[in-house]
Amino acid sequence: AQSVTQLDSQVPVFEEAPVELRCNYSSSVSVYLFWYVQYPNQGLQLLLKYLSGSTLVKGINGFEAEFNKSQTSFHLRKPSVHISDTAEYFCAVTPGQAGTALIFGKGTTLSVSS
Amino acid sequence: SAVISQKPSRDICQRGTSLTIQCQVDSQVTMMFWYRQQPGQSLTLIATANQGSEATYESGFVIDKFPISRPNLTFSTLTVSNMSPEDSSIYLCSVEGPRGVPSYNEQFFGPGTRLTVL
């Protein structure tokens, strides 16, 4: 069965610092990978996704992620964070086929302070 | 993309009662998914609802506790039956993007229903 591991439950950073949120997945088949963000008391919003092609994926709000098949990782990065990036971030995976649900990691709380 | 609405947005219920959550999508979709997000936790899939057939439940979830209806391609309901405080969670419905567009294989989420059971 597929699983997703988010290696850090909480990541505190200062404003304008770079950040990396780590995600590893386990799967023996092709997968689609996603990062979602959940701001306090709000729903889930897609940041970016990897389906195929270029391993470096750019998303909204200046975020990017790199798919590394050999390390089964999909780490999320941002070169300079803002206070407004404070939120819960979820990595998710699904098999590369239609009609299948997402499997989510436990989430990483990003706290940006000034 | 798909726009999803859920009703109610939140509710406070007494233990032993039931609550039905509605999920409406602005386009026809084959699969709808129901997730639960317990306080401070990640999302866990409850069941997959395909129009015209019985929902498929994940391990740990049963139809008697979480009956699901899927009467057409744009609507689904999830009922939380005989509630206890442990059922206090956010319940979210989700759909896959329509085929033939860039958002295909992306899942869209409703705003969620925040349930508190006393």
Q: Using pLDDT thresholds of 50, 70 and 90, give the confidence band for residue B113.
A: very high
Distance from CA of A9 to the nearest CA of B (A): 11
Q: Which mean pLDDT values do the consecutive 10-residue runs of chain A (114 residues) have?
A: 90 97 86 91 89 91 94 96 96 80 93 96
Which chain B residues are Cβ-neighbours of A36 within 8 angstroms?
109
C-beta atoms of B30 and A44 within 8 A: no
Q: Which residues pair with B91 in a beta bridge?
A: B36, B113
**pLDDT of res. A76:** 98
Mean pLDDT of all residues belonging to chain B = 91
**pLDDT of res. B101:** 60
Task: Report yes or no: A1 at the B interface, CB cutoff 8 Å.
Answer: no
**pLDDT of res. B41:** 87
Three state DSSP letters for chain B: CCCEEEECCEEEECCCCCEEEEEEECCCCCEEEEEEECCCCCEEEEEEEECCCCCEECCCCCCCCCCEEEEECCEEEEEECCCCHHHCEEEEEEEECCCCCCCCCCEEECCCEEEEEC
Task: Report yes or no: B15 at the A interface, CB cutoff 8 Å.
Answer: no
Condensed to tens digits (0 to 9), the pLDDT of residues B43-55 reads 999 999 988 888 9
Which chain A residues are Cβ-neighbours of B41 within 8 angstroms?
106-107
Q: Using pLDDT thresholds of 50, 70 and 90, give the confidence band for residue B76.
A: very high
Nearest chain A Cα to B1, which residue?
Answer: A46
- From the list B30, B50, B106, the residue facing A46 with the nearest CB is B106
Q: Using pLDDT thresholds of 50, 70 and 90, give the confidence band for residue B104.
A: low
**pLDDT of res. B39:** 87
**pLDDT of res. A113:** 96
Q: Using pLDDT thresholds of 50, 70 and 90, give the confidence band for residue B29.
A: confident
- From the list B30, B42, B105, the residue facing A105 with the nearest CB is B42
